[in-house]
Amino acid sequence: MRCGIIGCGAIANTIVNLVLKQDIKKIKLKYFYDRNFRKAKKLANLTNGTAVKKVEEMFNGVDLIIESASQEAVKEIVPNIISRGIDVLIMSVGALLDEKVRRRLIKESRESGANIYIPSGAIIGLDGVKAASLGKIKEIKLITRKSPTSLGVKTKKKEVVFKGKSSEAVKKFPVNINVAAALSLASGIDADVKIIADPEVEHNIHEVHVKGDFGEFKSITKNTVCELNPKTSVLAAYSAVTLLKILSDNIRVGT
Ligand SMILES: NC(=O)C1=CN([C@@H]2O[C@H](COP(=O)(O)OP(=O)(O)OC[C@H]3O[C@@H](n4cnc5c(N)ncnc54)[C@H](O)[C@@H]3O)[C@@H](O)[C@H]2O)C=CC1
Ligand SMILES: O=C([O-])CC(=O)C(=O)O
């Protein structure tokens, strides 16, 4: 599978390092684009790939493009990818809680035949959420704890910085709570979200609680943060690579 990457920050660097370290031959990282060209060049050098100055330059040479840039990139660049029939893996999932954006991407993908993939990101349990949503879900909530630095707030004590629906959370904290969007898209319900800035935590911690006619479950993910960007958890990049491996393998374990 020939891949391009848009956004060459923490997630992209973790993906590249993982693919190189584990010598995953089926995933060929070919093209890199970032509005900061030096970041694209760095990853291109590591992989013998190509850094492009205009994103369109990668369109003819890829089967799938990984978006690991920003919600803005999903709105501005991803429609052009999908309309050309190229598959896309989206990390900045929060953008899809904007109904206009989501409807447009789904419509374009139906017309062009492109697939849109959304990895589980930095939370575990989306498999359970999807299965549970076949019945009736009575409650779905996410409690996220991150350091004040990660959340971009100043506080010396533990503080709830957001309480509300996931569709609002992704607007107020666009680079911190894409996991809430994944949860909402998987369940079809605008999940309840609480974000806590906690000076005592060194991890990004996400608790998911789901109650429904299936019963009840709770998952806790205590994530190691990326060195390049402490807002972002290493697991998010690992989940993107896992999804690419699933797409290029003949056996699939789990839902
Ligand atoms: N789905 C999930 O579970 C998670 C999603 N994310 C999201 O994934 C995305 C990437 O995360 P990181 O790698 O940690 O961010 P980062 O800030 O380390 O890197 C993002 C890179 O994208 C580039 N960029 C941003 N907008 C761009 C645009 N419109 N055109 C070209 N380049 C652009 C920036 O220059 C930067 O180099 C973010 O939107 C983040 O919020 C992060 C963690 C978990
Ligand atoms: O990486 C994480 O722990 C979560 C995150 O930043 C996001 O969902 O945007």
Q: In three state form, how does the secondary structure of 48-100 look?
A: CCEECCCHHHHHHHCCEEEECCCHHHHHHCHHHHHHCCCEEEECCHHHHHCHH
Could you give the percent of the chain with pLDDT greater than 90? 97
The active-site residue, picked from 206, 210, 212, 237, is: 206
Give CA separation, 150 vs 66, 68, 166, in Å.
Answer: 23, 18, 18
The pLDDT of residue 255:
85
- Supply the CATH number for residue 151's domain: 3.30.360.10
Domain identity same for 73 and 92: yes
What is the residue range of 219's domain? 126-229
DSSP annotation of 142: E
Domain identity same for 218 and 241: no
Domain identity same for 170 and 218: yes
Q: Is 13 in the pocket of ligand 2 (CB under 6 A)?
A: no
Domain identity same for 106 and 197: no
**Are 194 and 235 within 8 A, CB to CB?**
no
Domain identity same for 239 and 191: no
Domain identity same for 208 and 187: yes
Q: Is 92 in the pocket of ligand 2 (CB under 6 A)?
A: no
Is 178 annotated in a binding site? The answer is yes
How many folded domains does the chain comprise? 2
Instruction: Output the average pLDDT for the chain.
Output: 97
What is the C-alpha separation between 148 and 126, in angstroms, rounded?
26
- Supply the CATH number for residue 14's domain: 3.40.50.720
Domain identity same for 13 and 109: yes
Annotation says 203 is catalytic: no
What is the C-alpha separation between 35 and 44, in angstroms, rounded?
14
Nearest ligand, measured from the Cα of 222: 2
Ligand 2 midpoint to CA 144 (Å): 9
* Per-residue pLDDT tens digits for 169-207: 999 999 999 999 999 999 999 999 999 999 999 999 999
Structure ipTM: 0.99
pTM of the model: 0.98
